[in-house]
Amino acid sequence: MRPRKILIMGLPGAGKTTRARLLATKLNAVFFNADQVRTHLNKDLGFSLADRIEQARRLGWLCDQVTMTGAYVIADFVCPTPETRSAFRAGGDTFVIWVDRIASGRFEDTNDLFVAPDQVDLRITQEGTAEDWCERIVPLLSPTFNPRRPTALFLGRYQPFQDRHKALVIEGIRRVGQACIAVRDAVGSTRKSPFPFDQVKSRIEHALKDYDGRFVVVSVPNISNIFYGGDAGFSVGRIRVDQRHERLRRHSVKQEMPSHTIRPDAHE
């Protein structure tokens, strides 16, 4: 799972804003410029270290509220010290990009205060254009489903898509890299299948929003049997989830199937 909270940091004049705006367009992300946030929301703060830390904390919190909706958010922010970076990152995972293109900025006090970060997710140097760097960054932050890559297949009615289903898919993504969720077109076939495909798909996509680009949801016929002969070129296996999800699965199976058809390995 990739962080949706992105910090583009560096000295004033390094080119942070140019790259932040371009990246925001490519990711369809919400964009906050720290100077504008200070002007419109944080007028009470100055440029002491304590105020800079508070500015970082507030801006980080603001970004966290955006990520809760499932959107990407980018903060264009000098974030000059370990303390300010820690305050910004406190609320959640952050992808940190350091624009390290100049030796000093236009404000002497910021130059004196600035401490180069020990560890970042990506360091931008003088080489390459802003467009080049954004093309490199986007795949790191927003994976794209590739039908030619190894893929885990999950088949079910998902009426509805529950936490136990979500846990299985996430584990499949962890093991294989991406997943195909095949939804059986069983609507109306029984009273246990009331939801049409579009509604099921929407629920799945919402539940797995943190894994965008790592899965695809497709509609398939109401498949009741799966056969293969010889070496089919894929492996068939069972993922065992934790005991809580396993109890939920067994309870659900018992409710949905006649007692004489229940098998220990029955699953959807």
Q: What is the pLDDT of residues 233-263, one digit of tens each?
A: 778 888 887 766 555 555 554 444 443 332 3
Q: Is the pTM of this model over 0.85?
A: no
Are 60 and 130 part of one and the same domain? yes
Domain boundary pick from 95, 116, 141: 141
Q: Is residue 61 part of a domain?
A: yes
Are 123 and 211 part of one and the same domain? no
Q: What is the pLDDT of residues 52-87, one digit of tens each?
A: 999 999 999 999 999 988 889 999 999 999 999 999
Give the 3-state secondary structure of 195-238: CCHHHHHHHHHHHCHHHCCCEEEEEECCCCCCCCCCCCCCCCCC
What's the chain's length in residues?
Answer: 268
pLDDT at residue 221 is higher than 90:
yes
Q: Is residue 122 part of a domain?
A: yes
pLDDT at 187: 86
Q: Is residue 116 part of a domain?
A: yes
CB 83 within 8 A of CB 53: yes
Instruction: Measure CA of the first residue to CA of the last residue in the chain; give whole Å.
Output: 25
Q: Is residue 146 part of a domain?
A: no
Count of the separate structural domains present in the chain: 2
Quote the domain boundaries for residue 227: 152-261
Report the candidate in 36, 17, 182 with the shortest Cα–Cα distance to residue 105.
17
CATH number at residue 37: 3.40.50.300
The 8-class DSSP code of residue 185 comes to -
- Report d(CA 224, CA 138) in Å as an integer: 40
